[in-house]
Structure formats: C-alpha cells, structure tokens
Amino acid sequence: MVVPGKGITAIRFGATVETIERHMLAPCDVKTETRCLYIEQAIDFSLEKGVLVRAKVYRRDRPVPGVPDRTFGTFHGGLAPAVVMGLHRHIVHEEFGPPDRTESVDAPTGLGLTARDFYAGLILEYDKIANGNTVLSAMEVFAAENPAVPHPAVPRPEQREKKSEHKPD
C-alpha cells in the first residue's frame, strides 16, 4: 500500500536499507548509496544519508531508470481507497479526488509519460500507452509538510460508513 507522506506499507521514511531489505524479505536488486531498487516488485527506494526519503512504484513493463534493457515487474499494491496501476486518469480522479496541481509533459519521453498529478506527499504519473489510453504508470511518495492530514478523498476511519449487519427477520 502506498501511503502518501509516509512511505510504502510498513516501510516508512527514515528507514535504513537493512530495514527495507527486512520488510522486502530480500536484498536490493540494485544497491547504491542513494538507491535500493527492486525490479520485479517495481519499487525504487531513494536514500539520503543512509535513510529512506522517497519511494516510487511503477507499472509493469516500464523501463527501469539506470538499468539498460530491463523493465519493471508488477507492483502488487495500490493507493487507498481503490487506486492501482493501469487505471485511466479520470478513474483515479474519481477514486482519489482531484489533484492539487497538474503538470502536462509536452514532449513525451520514451516512457510515454504525458502528465503528472500532485497531491500532498504524492505524485502520480500517467503514460499514454499503445492503444491510446492514458493510464496510471507511477506513484512517487515523499514526506509531506503535514503527513498527519490525509488527502480529502481518503476518509478518516471515523468518517467511513459502517456496514450494516444483515439480520434475518
């Protein structure tokens, strides 16, 4: 699960490489002073002074930055309430809410990147794929100014509707 302003699942900002590897249950595929990369899981952790400061997850088959002739595997997570890789942009907006800011990418890169949406602690990237659809292709999380405040589209637990229990008559 991508948690805006905080990290990826239990891997939170400030974690060391040892902590990342323990939670990922494997050593990094690529490990440098500034990076811990998992290619098959499609997660790229960015480090400063030995601790996690940013993380980015990618859609399947997107080229791996800095690793020639490799593409990412599958990220098996998402973003609450129901955002996963490959969703059309308008559906992401319906599920997560409108972005605070949007940036168009005028000259598509080799990735097909066409736009970015910015939220507190989160950047969503969209690629135009071969069939012409614009789909969610990457989620980048970073420490937000106030990570305790969730994006308005994500209700706090006390705001969620309680499911009624069906009792037979």
pLDDT, one tens digit per residue, over 116-155 is 999 999 999 999 888 888 999 999 999 876 444 444 444 4
Q: For residue 109, what pLDDT is reported?
A: 61
Q: For residue 155, what pLDDT is reported?
A: 41
Q: For residue 101, what pLDDT is reported?
A: 94
Does the pLDDT of residue 162 top 60, yes or no? no
Percent of the chain at pLDDT exceeding 90: 70
Cα within 13 Å of Cα(24), Cβ side: 25
Percent of the chain at pLDDT exceeding 70: 82
> Is residue 22 very low, low, confident or very high in pLDDT (cuts 50, 70, 90)?
very high
Question: Where is pLDDT greater, at 142 or 161?
Answer: 142
What is the distance between the alpha carbons of residues 155 and 74, in angstroms, rounded to a whole number? 27
What is the distance between the alpha carbons of residues 6 and 10, in angstroms, rounded to a whole number? 9
Q: For residue 107, what pLDDT is reported?
A: 58
